[in-house]
């Protein structure tokens, strides 16, 4: 095992030399400006406390063996109705859903054209498929069309509705128009838009294009504060994934507690839509305070606000100083983002106070 351990040590030393070595940490007691818990649902006891006794609390197996339950199928039907979709299929996480969809659906000689900033889970899913894949410049409609002109066979276009690192929105209506022109199937990862846009149903619903999108991936570990994900589409797609998606077939199902929590989180949002309004007000407050802040990456409409501080050393030092002053803000290092684009990724929440936002912005202003 010496060669293997030497290799591992060499790779870790390489990361350490680049000041890019990742490690696990907790920052308990700090004011949260880093989590994806946009609406504060992760701490709502009403969502996470069971109202009923269950015969079993463990999943016991995959959905195709012993892990399928009437409750799970009822929640999938509920999600399909909630998101204005024909069907929904629950996966164990957003990563799992993207792996399961992109590794099984596109076939050899098919083409996937994806935004260059697409999430790592989709990239990994594409690697597992036999399809040809090509990127287009971020949110660049002209470049997307140039790629589509040269594509043949079954074509899939993959984008995120809200991008996780910059927080900007995809021009979904324009992208859909181009996809329709070239008979391409549009797949939208809605991880950072569900719970916030379209009364919680995502940006596609807010734009009234959900019926024209081939597949949507919705995840529940961010604004909904629980766990799991679902692929939304027509019934044919659901049946296909049940038969061909290895990430669905060969994994233990989510336990029923998690399944029930997903439904409770959606019902809770329906009764507390004011959380979304409060979140939007806090985003506007942050944007107003940083209107002339030159380091801000862009005027993001989402809770994700980023401050570019070039260099792993520099951004880590800035984050450490801000954490010492009581705010949980995390640095995003290269190679997660390109060199020179290292950043503080600041997440705004509905539960952040105006005073907290003001104090955080004061921390960001160079002395």
- The token pair that represents 17 in the structure block: 């030399």
Radius of gyration of the chain (CA): 21
The answer, yes or no, to whether residue 138 has pLDDT greater than 60, is yes
Would strands 330-332 and 229-233 be described as parallel, antiparallel, or unpaired?
A: unpaired
Query: 295 or 342: whose pLDDT is higher?
Result: 342
Average pLDDT in the chain: 94
Distance (Å, whole) CA 74 – CA 193: 24
Which pLDDT belongs to residue 52? 76
Distance (Å, whole) CA 237 – CA 215: 8
Report the percent of the chain where pLDDT is more than 90: 83
The residues, ordered by sequence, that sit 6+ positions from 57 with a Cβ below 8 Å of its Cβ are 255, 256, 257
Q: Mind listing the pLDDT tens digit for each residue in 223-249?
A: 999 999 999 999 999 999 999 999 999
Mean pLDDT confidence for 132-152: 95
CA distances to 47, 117, 142, 223 from 138, rounded to whole Å, are 37, 6, 11, 24
Mean pLDDT confidence for 75-94: 98
Adjacent-strand bridge partners of 132: 111
The answer, yes or no, to whether residue 220 has pLDDT greater than 90, is yes
Q: Mind listing the pLDDT tens digit for each residue in 267-313?
A: 999 999 999 999 999 999 999 888 777 666 566 889 999 988 899 99
**Is residue 338 within 8 Å of residue 310, measured between CB atoms?**
no
Mean pLDDT confidence for 253-264: 96
Q: Mind listing the pLDDT tens digit for each residue in 16-51?
A: 998 888 888 887 899 999 999 999 999 999 999 987
Please report the domains of the chain, with CATH numbers, ordered by start residue. 29-41+273-364 (3.90.1150.10), 59-271 (3.40.640.10)
Would strands 132-136 and 155-160 be described as parallel, antiparallel, or unpaired?
A: unpaired
Band (pLDDT 50/70/90 cuts) for residue 174 is: very high
The answer, yes or no, to whether residue 58 has pLDDT greater than 90, is no
Band (pLDDT 50/70/90 cuts) for residue 208 is: very high
- Three-class secondary structure of residue 274 per DSSP: helix
Residue appearing with tokens 């846009």: 197
């Amino acid at each position: 095992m010496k060669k293997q351990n030497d290799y591992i040590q060499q790779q870790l030393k390489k990361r350490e030399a680049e000041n890019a070595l990742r490690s696990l940490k907790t920052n308990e007691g700090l004011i949260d400006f880093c989590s994806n818990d946009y609406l504060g649902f992760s701490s709502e006891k009403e969502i996470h406390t069971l109202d009923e006794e269950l015969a079993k609390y463990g999943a016991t197996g995959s959905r195709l063996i012993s892990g399928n339950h009437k409750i799970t199928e009822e929640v999938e039907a509920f999600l399909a109705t909630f998101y204005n979709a024909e069907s929904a299929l629950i996966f164990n996480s957003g990563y799992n859903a993207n792996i399961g969809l992109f590794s099984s659906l596109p076939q050899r000689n098919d083409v996937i054209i994806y935004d260059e900033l697409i999430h790592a889970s989709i990239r990994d899913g594409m690697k597992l498929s036999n399809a040809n894949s090509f990127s287009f410049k971020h949110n660049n409609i002209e470049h997307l069309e140039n790629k589509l002109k040269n594509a043949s066979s079954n074509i899939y276009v993959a984008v995120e509705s809200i991008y996780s690192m910059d927080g900007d929105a995809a021009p979904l209506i324009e992208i859909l128009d181009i996809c329709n022109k070239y008979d391409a199937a549009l797949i939208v990862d809605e991880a950072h838009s569900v719970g916030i846009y379209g009364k919680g149903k995502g940006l596609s619903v807010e734009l009234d294009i959900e019926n024209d999108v081939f597949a949507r991936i919705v995840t529940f570990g961010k604004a909904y504060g629980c766990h799991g994900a679902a692929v939304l589409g027509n019934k044919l797609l659901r049946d296909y994934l049940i038969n061909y998606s290895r990430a669905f077939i060969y994994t233990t199902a989510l336990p029923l507690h998690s399944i029930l929590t997903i439904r409770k989180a959606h019902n809770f949002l329906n009764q507390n839509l004011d959380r979304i309004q409060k979140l939007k007000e806090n985003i506007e407050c942050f944007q107003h305070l940083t209107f002339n802040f030159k380091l801000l990456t862009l005027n993001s409409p989402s809770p994700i606000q980023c401050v570019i501080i070039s260099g792993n050393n520099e951004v880590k030092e800035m984050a450490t100083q801000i954490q010492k002053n009581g705010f949980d803000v995390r640095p995003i290092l290269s190679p997660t983002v390109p060199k020179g684009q290292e950043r503080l990724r600041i997440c705004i929440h509905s539960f952040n106070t105006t005073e907290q936002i003001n104090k955080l912005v004061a921390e960001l202003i160079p002395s």
